[in-house]
Structure 1
Amino acid sequence: METVVGLHRNHFGEIISFVTSGGRIISYQKALLEAANGVIKGVQATEDHDGKLILSPELEHTFDQYPNLF
């Protein structure tokens, strides 16, 4: 099972895609689907206070510890 090892942010600092341990670069939306389906471990799909699905790391509160890879 793959894990998230890095991410890509836009110039506003927003996460736009993730890098997996398998070398794939997947969009935020695809990562959300894969986390919800248990394809990627270490992240989880949760609802924010508005009911919108968001990704969050299972052990940390933010993705700040992940490197911004290009």
Structure 2
Amino acid sequence: METIVALHRNHFGEIINFVTSGGRVISYQKAIIEAENGDLQGVQSIEGFDGAPTLMPLNDSSFDHYPNLF
């Protein structure tokens, strides 16, 4: 099972893609779907403030410590 190891942010600082331990670059939406299906380890899909699904790391409160790869 893959985990998230890095991410890509846009110029506003918003996460737009994730890099998995398998080397895949997946969109935020694809990561939500994979987390809901149990295909990504270490993250969970939760309901955000606006009611839309969002991702949260299981052992942390944010993705701030993940490297930002370009």
Task: Give the alignment's TM-score, normalised by structure 1.
Answer: 0.96
SS at structure 2 position matched to 1:30: helix
1:57 maps to amino acid: P
Q: Percent identity?
A: 66
SS at structure 2 position matched to 1:66: coil
Residue aligning to 2:29? 29
Structure 1: any 5+ residue segments left out of the alignment? none
SS at structure 2 position matched to 1:3: strand
Equivalent-residue separation in structure 2 for 1:14 and 1:25 (angstroms): 16
C-alpha deviation, 1:49, in angstroms: 3.2
Q: List structure 1 runs of 4+ shifted beyond 3 angstroms.
A: none
Equivalent-residue separation in structure 2 for 1:13 and 1:49 (angstroms): 18
C-alpha deviation, 1:19, in angstroms: 0.1
Task: Give the alignment's TM-score, normalised by structure 2.
Answer: 0.96
Structure 2: any 5+ residue segments left out of the alignment? none
Instruction: Say how many residue pairs are matched.
Output: 70
Q: Considering only aligned residues, what root-mean-square deviation do their CA atoms show, in Å?
A: 0.7
